[in-house]
Amino acid sequence: MNQQELIKNIRRELIKNIDKKYQKTSKTFFKEKINNLGVRSPIVKKISSKYCPEFEKIVKKDKGLLTIETKNICEQLLRQEDEFKTIAFNWIFQQKDCFTENNFLIFEDWYKKYVTNWSTCDDFCTHAFGYLIYKFPELTAKTEKWTRSKNRWLRRASAVVLIYSLRRDKHLREAFKIADTLLEDSDDLVRKGYGWMLKEAANLQEEKVFKYVIKNKKKMPRTALRYAIEKMPIKLKKEAMAK
């Protein structure tokens, strides 16, 4: 099976599994227009798993580096509906052992071109892109620049891309730095993004995150604050929410 046959087979299976009701209701979770077929996530994941062995046969592995074939197939998938993007992000994550620092430019380019909603942002950032940042911590200097972007999804990504590391007790200092910059961001989805980042950090560093929230709660929008303290004990929540 070649690249084009692989993608045609995937499209055929996705179309066969379109759920018209889900297609309509899924759009209500987004403020912006989305481009999806209407296939439920568990089914997309099954299709991804089914064809991943064929993908790996085509791309192979070349001395621990992502191959040109890997990039080409993922690029073709990313140009299509969101279900294809899910598969591309899944497959590239399966190749994580081949990641090098140089992949940052490729991933950033893909992000700017193909990420157009919070779902694709979070999928890419909490898996493949997040792993790249975890593997090469020095790359956080590049993602910090996203906080000043006019692109709302890049600003959200500057926080969400650290979640993979924070779940492994890494990059707390960088997370606070990102939160400082995004603290009063006007975009609700950016606020939710850095609030989520702080919530994940609190799972392993509750005291430090709580102190950060208390220090900044007068400036922090309530949306971000609620996300940050969501899993904290009731006593701490009340203290954080008190005016």
Mapping DSSP to helix (H, G, I), strand (E, B) and coil, where does residue 65 land?
Answer: strand
Q: In 10 A of CB 231, how many CB atoms?
A: 13
What pLDDT score does 65 carry?
72
212 and 179 Cβ atoms separated by less than 8 Å:
yes
Task: Tell me if the domain spanning 118-243 has CATH number 1.25.10.90.
Answer: yes
For 188-236, the pLDDT digits (tens) are 999 999 999 999 999 999 999 999 999 999 999 999 999 999 999 999 9
Phi, psi of 225 (to 5 degrees): -60, -45
Distance CA 69, CA 3 (A): 8
Mapping DSSP to helix (H, G, I), strand (E, B) and coil, where does residue 62 land?
Answer: strand
Confidence (pTM): 0.92
130 and 107 Cβ atoms separated by less than 8 Å:
no
Would you call 40 exposed, middle or buried from its count of C-beta atoms within 10 A (0-12, 13-18, 19+)? middle
Which of the two residues, 151 and 62, has the higher pLDDT score? Answer: 151
Q: Name residue, tokens 């701490």.
A: 236
For 120-173, the pLDDT digits (tens) are 999 999 999 999 999 999 999 999 999 999 999 999 999 999 999 999 999 999
Where exactly are the structural domains of the chain? 1-98, 118-243
For 13-44, the pLDDT digits (tens) are 999 999 999 888 888 888 888 889 999 999 99
Output the six-digit token pair for 152. 């709302």
pLDDT at 181 over 70: yes
What pLDDT score does 33 carry?
84
Tell me, what DSSP letter sits at residue 117?
S
